[in-house]
Amino acid sequence: MVKRNNVKVIGKGDQVILFAHGFGCDQQSWKYIVDAFTDDYRVVLFDYVGSGKSDLNQYDSVKYGNLNGYAEDVLDICEALELKDIIFVGHSVSSMIGLLAAIKEPTYFQKLVFIGPSPRYLNDADYTGGFERTDLESLFEFMDSNYLGWSSALAPAIMGNPDRPELGEFLTDSFCSNDPVIAREFAKVTFFSDNRADLSKLRIKSLTLQCSDDIIAPLQVGNYVNKHISNNSLFIMRATGHCPHISEPEETIRAIKAFI
The catalytic residue positions are 92, 214, 242
**For strand 16-20 and strand 42-45, is the pairing parallel, antiparallel, or unpaired?**
parallel
How far apart (Å, rounded) are the C-alpha atoms in residues 21 and 184? 16
Asked if residues 243 and 252 have their Cβ atoms less than 8 Å apart, the reply is no
Which residues make beta-bridge pairs with 42?
Answer: 11, 16
Dist CA 187 CA 195 (whole Å): 15
State the Cα–Cα distance between residues 195 and 191, nearest whole angstrom.
11
Burial class (CB in 10 A: 0-12, 13-18, 19+), 51: buried
The β-bridge relationship of strands 86-91 and 109-115 is: parallel
